[in-house]
A = this chain, B = another copy of it.
Amino acid sequence: MTSRNFDSLPTVEPVARLIEELNKLPGIGPKTAQRLTYHVIRLPAEEARALAQAVLDVKERVVFCSRCYNITDKDPCAVCTDLRRDQTRICVVEEPLDVLALERVQVYRGMYHVLHGVISPMHGVGPDDLRIRELLVRLQGSGVQEVVLALNPSLEGEATSMYLQKLIAPLGIRLTRLARGLPAGSELEYADEVTLTRAFEGRQEL
C-alpha cells in the first residue's frame, strides 16, 4: 500500500492560488490560508463575490487625505473639513487604526496626522519614509497650539517621538505625549519593570 510515486496528487490550481494569496496577508500562515480557502469554496457564490468586491472597492475608493494622511473616501477627509473640531491641536499617530481607537473613546476633538509607521532602522524605515515632512509643513504658520504625540509606547515609538520633539520644539508649539502608567484593570504585582517605573515617575498629586 506504500508508494513514493504520486503523479495524481490533487493540486487544484485556483485553490493553490487562493491559498498563496491569503498566505501573503500579515498573520495568515499556510494552515489558516488553507482553512480560509476551503471556507470560501463552500460560501454561496454571492458571498464570495461580495468579499472580492469589498477588496476591490477598498483599493479603488479609499485614498489618503492630503492633509492628515488618514484614510478617507473623499479628500480632504471628514475630520479635516469638520469646522466644529479644534483646528489648533494635532494628534500625531502611527496608523489609521490609532485614529479609530482614539475617536472611539471620544476624549479628543482636534485634528490628526498619520505618520504611517515609525522610524525603524531595523526594518529600513527612515524619517523620509514617514509623513514627517508633511507634518512640519502643516505646522508652519498654521496657528496650531498643541501637538499631541500619540505613538505606541514601544522602543521605536519612543525614538520617533524624540525625533519629532527635536524638530517641533524650535517652532514654539506646545508638545505633549500620552501618559505612561498602569493600564486600567491591571495588577501592580504583575506590571513589568518599565511600566512600573514610568507609573512611579509620573505619579500625580491627589
Contacts and interface: CB of A to CB of B under 8 A. Distances in A.
Of listed A14, A40, A45, A49, residue having the most chain B CB within 10 A: A14
Contacts of A25: 36, 39-40
A86 B6 CA distance: 12
Contact of A109 (B1, B13, B97, B103): B1
29 contacts: A1-B107, A1-B108, A1-B109, A1-B110, A3-B106, A7-B84, A8-B78, A8-B85, A10-B70, A10-B71, A10-B77, A10-B99, A14-B57, A14-B58, A14-B61, A17-B58, A18-B58, A21-B51, A25-B39, A34-B97, A38-B95, A40-B58, A40-B59, A41-B58, A41-B62, A49-B56, A51-B55, A52-B52, A52-B56
Interface of A: 1-4, 6-10, 12-15, 17-18, 20-22, 24-28, 32, 34-41, 43, 45, 47-62, 70-73, 77-79, 82, 84-86, 89, 95-97, 99-100, 103, 106-110
